[in-house]
Amino acid sequence: MTNDYLESVKKQFQYYKILGDKTFAQLTEEALFWQYNENSNSIAMIVNHLSGNMCSRFTDFLTTDGEKEWRNRDTEFEAQRITTKEEVIRRWEQGWDCLFNAINPLKDADLDKIIYIRNQGHTVTEAINRQLAHYPYHIGQIVMLGKMLTQNDWQSLSIPRGKSQAYNDDKFAKPQQKAHFTDEVLNPRKD
């Protein structure tokens, strides 16, 4: 495996962070705390969980178990742990900062190292892949809740309905090239 893996993973995490960022930008403070029922999670609760998981998994990533003694996962899902939009964004950024501070310095030689999550050994690659499946699962929940809560005011985060053919026509009008699917989201053209 080469550094392409690490660069791809970083871009994919950045992409999913942007989906959350763009969702939060469309939501009122009240929407962040809406729950369908008492057994469902609000966006604020999901963010609190993601941040708790990221901070636990990626603090001292290569040297300590990913389930830190100071983490209390159950409280991440308690209503009213976070009470303002500002706090939601702060927790969101805290988690992502922890993740990127851990993965940005990684080298190819680190990928086969064994780390532990709840005392189960994972290669660094496996641990990253585990989180790369976990975080988009929850970010998809955030986006879906955002779409429901904004109703007809939702601004699409991908190809808007009815625009697929125009999008494909544009892509196929250009020469083939190697590119990561996130490149145009992470580095939009300024035409």
Tell me what pLDDT residue 2 has.
Answer: 54
Query: What does the alpha-carbon distance between residue 11 and residue 4 come to, in Å, rounded to a whole number?
Result: 10
Cα(99)–Cα(118) distance, rounded to whole angstroms?
A: 18
Nearest to 104 by CA among 17, 39, 170, 7: 7
pLDDT of 1 higher than 60: no
* Mean pLDDT calculated for residue range 99-119: 97
Which amino acid type is present at position 102?
A
Listed residue (129, 142, 176, 101) closest to 8, CA to CA = 129
Dump pLDDT digits (tens) for 73-91: 999 998 777 899 999 999 9
- What pLDDT sits at residue 49? 97
Q: Measured at the alpha carbon of residue 85, what is the angle toward residues 80 and 91, in degrees to the nearest 5? A: 75
- Give the global pTM: 0.91
Q: Please give the pLDDT value at position 80.
A: 73
Give the pLDDT confidence of 28-57 residue by residue, as tens digits. Answer: 999 999 999 999 999 999 999 999 999 999
Residue 68 has pLDDT above 90, yes or no: yes
Determine the Cα–Cα distance for residues 169 and 68; give it in Å rounded to an integer: 49
Fold (CATH) for 3-155: Four Helix Bundle (Hemerythrin (Met), subunit A) (1.20.120)
| pLDDT tens-digit series, residues 137-189 | 999 999 999 999 998 999 999 888 899 998 888 889 988 888 877 777 777 76
Instruction: Identify the residue whose tokens are 């892509």.
Output: 171
Where are the chain's structural domains? 3-155
Spatial CA neighbour of 118 closest among 127, 105, 109, 106:
127
Q: Where is pLDDT greater, at 95 or 175? A: 95
H or E element at residue 31:
helix 29-32
8-35 tens-digit pLDDT: 999 999 999 999 999 999 999 999 999 9
